[in-house]
Amino acid sequence: MSDVILSIRGLAKNYELSGALARRKEVVHAVENVNLEIREGETLGIVGESGCGKSTLGRMIVRLEQPTAGEILFEGHDLAKEPKKKLRALRKRFQMIFQDPYAALNPRRQIGQIVEEPLRVHGVGKEERRAIAKDLLKRVGLDEGAYEKYPHEFSGGQRQRVVIARALALNPRLVVADEPVSALDVSIQAQVLNLFKDLQKELNLTYVFIAHDLGVVRHVSDRIAVMYLGKVVELAEADVLYESPAHPYSQALLSANPRMGADDKRERIILKGDIPNPINRPSGCAFNPRCPKAADICRTESPELMTIGTRQVACHFPTL
Amino acid sequence: MSLKENSEAIFSESPGKIALRTLRKDKRSVISLSILGFIIAISLLAPVYAHFIAHTNPFNSSLDATTHVGGKVVPVLEASTTGLGLGVTPIGPTWNPTGYFLGADGQGRDVMARLLYGGRNTLLIGASAGIICIVLALLIGVIAGYRKGWIDSILSRLLDVIWAFPVYLLAISLSVVLLTSGLKLGFIHVGPGSFALPILIIGIVYIPYVARPIRAQVLSLREREFVRAAVGIGAKDSTIIFREILPNIIPSVLVFVPIIIALCMLTESALSFLSIGVQPPQASWGTIINDGLALLYTRPWVGIAPGLFIVLTAASLNLYGDAVRDALDPKTRSRGDA
Ligand SMILES: Nc1ncnc2c1ncn2[C@@H]1O[C@H](COP(=O)(O)OP(=O)(O)OP(=O)(O)O)[C@@H](O)[C@H]1O
Ligand code: SF4
Ligand SMILES: [Mg+2]
């Protein structure tokens, strides 16, 4: 088994809503007690419905968000407690790729400047910067001329390639990609996903890959974590999860996904009701109001994430 | 359509260059800049006009001066023939640039020469106050929006306080207090007659009108993903402000410049009209209107001429502001191009 490069212990993020809209001080439990280990060279997929805390978790891993509690252990540092200045120096080891390539590039700067910026920030000289940036642009499949152009001259797919080039400029070990293809045309998505895979092989990168399209995640992931209302409810090898999901929520997600193809003979399970509000989590298992297997114990006792064989599941009645 | 082809055929242009090109082609900017250029040029040439053309000193009252009209020598001030026969009536416009083109004021001074000198002062104070206003507003807006938290709270309350007073009421109260005594702040000592006082007062009064929209824009920019990306690569706050935030704020600041200068100029004129701006013997368009008030029925040009200059300057600045705004806004740009 490969080495663990980043491990998360008891990670949580609460947002306090105050001000005119919230009557009392309300707390959003965006992420609760997440424990994960990310292994060298793998792609860990994170899936779940909108609002389950995927982005919040991703942003905490690269410390664009300060966790409320927990540890993020990376190369001997706890990123959650690292002071601002030291953190800035560490940032070249882990990078984030954003969902919206239109918002992720400063419209007033040239592509070359954008890709060189991380190098400039970390003190790389002018000539070297330029050479690295040009090489990176070539690697992500853009031509020479891109260097002097502005973001408004590019399509979404090309912009996402620029975002990827910028993230790789500092030669990071870990890249967190938050729905990197969901804003792109379906015809472009496959190209960009293949770019991710090629770069991973060439540069020995480790990915945390967030998505809510299960087809996309399966295509790239080695292991997949399923999140529900801020918690990881199942974590398994990609193939294992897709062949035999153990958690009722994973089963529902997979059966609801029309892109899984004709070989999928499982009965479709329709998720009843809306995603409950992360402000008022249901007691016991958070999934119980929508779960077809819910029993009395599910309404009172919250299931812990338990290791069963090669996978981890948080359910009182997992399918095995 | 044609714009896209151009930019691909030649070379790629920054958003700023595209805006500049649009602005150059805009008729409104050509017209307004010509008018402004003319007014600024003649105002700057005020001493030349006074010394070499009109041969007059517009700051001294010259009650017994004379001038030539139609070959005859006439006194500039004549005893009043109307009413009780008290006081004097100054000479009206001679329409002759070599002397008393627009007539004289109540002290026998050449109105045209004073108008040009007054233009220098009004434009100088308006432009300096406008620039001070925008620089301070930019500083306050960016710091408040970027730092958030308690710094933002303090700065925002400060803006609220300035905002809460009607502009003219605030300007008038500040002027009345400061103009009589001057300003003493530690090492800084500004005398009562100095232009620094009206410039500061007028500049400060308009800060909230610029600082608030800038703060709001910074607040939204700092949540944009390219700013998060800059944090993510390990950039310092100062780097993020100068390289990511400011380039995106500058366009809206540029739109403010002509409009705020126009407002400052109007405020200067109003304060000077009320005798709490530019102090005699210095002139400004506002003080000349005040001089003209007493002569409104007999010599209306004394009041009308500076009024016309004020209107023309303010209107040109606003027109230019509109052109700048449209050139920087990509949504209206295509319309202007067609
Ligand atoms: N800055 C914030 N302030 C308050 N609440 C927030 C904030 N950011 C996220 N949340 C809340 O936290 C929860 C998780 O949000 P998050 O963006 O992590 O979800 P997500 O899984 O990424 O969803 P999506 O698929 O829509 O991107 C949501 O309920 C969201 O409303
Ligand atoms: S614990 Fe109960 S409610 Fe929760 S997923 Fe399992 S069976 Fe369903
Ligand atoms: Mg998200």
The CA distance from B148 to the nearest CA of chain A, in Å, is: 15
B35 Cβ partners below 8 Å, 6+ apart? B312, B313, B316
CA distance B220 to chain A (A): 12
Q: What distance in Å separates the CA atoms of residue A129 and residue B84, rounded to the nearest whole number?
A: 87
Q: Are residues A166 and B233, on separate chains, in Cβ contact within 8 Å?
A: yes
Residue A175 Cβ contacting ligand 2 at under 6 Å: no
Q: Which residues of chain B have pLDDT under 70?
A: 1-12, 80-87, 192, 330-338
The residue of chain A with its CA nearest to that of B230 is A118
Alpha helices in chain A (DSSP H): 54-61, 84-90, 111-121, 126-139, 156-168, 186-203, 214-220, 238-243, 248-255, 296-300
**And the tokens for B180?**
């009589």
CB pairs under 8 A between A and B: 76
Q: Please indicate if any CB of chain B lies within 8 Å of the CB of A297.
A: no
- Set out the domains of chain B in order of their start, with CATH numbers: 121-283 (1.10.3720.10)
What does the pLDDT look like over B81-95, one tens digit per residue? 665 555 678 888 888
Place of tokens 């303010």: B314
Ligand 2, atom nearest to A293 Cα = 7
The residues, any chain, with a CB within 8 Å of residue A247's CB and separated by 6 or more, are A226, A233, A234, A313, A314, A315, A318, A319
Q: Is B233 in contact with A95 (Cβ distance < 8 A)?
A: yes
Token reading at A14: 């609460």
Residue A152 touches chain B, beta carbons under 8 Å = yes
Measuring from atom 5 of ligand 1, which residue has the nearest CA? A15
Cα–Cα distance for residue pair A121/A166, rounded to 1 Å: 12
Give the whole-angstrom CA distance, residue B305 versus residue B97.
15
At residue B6, the pLDDT reads 42
- What distance lies between CA A1 and its chain's CA centroid? 22
> A77 touching B, CB under 8 A?
no
Q: Is there a contact between B234 and A122 if contact means CB atoms under 8 Å apart?
A: yes
pLDDT for position B98: 82
- pLDDT at residue A270, as a whole number: 62
* pLDDT in single tens digits along all 320 residues of chain A: 568 999 999 999 999 887 665 566 788 999 999 999 999 999 999 999 888 999 999 999 999 999 999 999 999 899 999 999 999 999 999 999 998 998 999 998 999 999 999 999 999 999 999 999 999 999 999 988 899 999 988 999 999 999 999 999 999 999 999 999 988 888 889 999 999 999 999 999 999 999 987 888 888 999 999 999 999 999 999 999 998 899 999 998 888 765 544 444 455 566 666 777 778 888 889 999 888 888 899 999 999 999 988 899 999 999 87
CB contact under 8 A, B233 and A170: yes
User: In this structure, which residue's CA is closest to atom 1 in ligand 1?
Assistant: A15
- Find tokens 């416009």 and name the residue: B93
User: Which residue type, as a one-letter code, is found at position A233?
Assistant: V
- Please state, in angstroms and rounded to a whole number, the distance separating the CA atoms of residues A241 and B80: 105
* Cα of B134 to nearest chain A Cα, Å: 21
Question: In sequence order, what are the beta bridge partners of A94?
Answer: A174
Interface check for A86 against chain B (CB to CB < 8 A): the answer is no
Distance, in Å, from the CA atom of A302 to the CA atom of A199, rounded to the nearest integer, reads 40
Distance in Å, CA A227 to ligand 2 centroid: 14
Chain-centroid distance, C-alpha B306: 14
Whether B233 sits inside 8 A of A91 (CB atoms) is yes
From CA B3, how far away is CA B26, in angstroms rounded?
Answer: 15
Question: Which residues in chain A touch residue B244, judged by CB atoms under 8 angstroms apart?
Answer: 106
In B, minimum Cα distance to A113 occurs at: B243
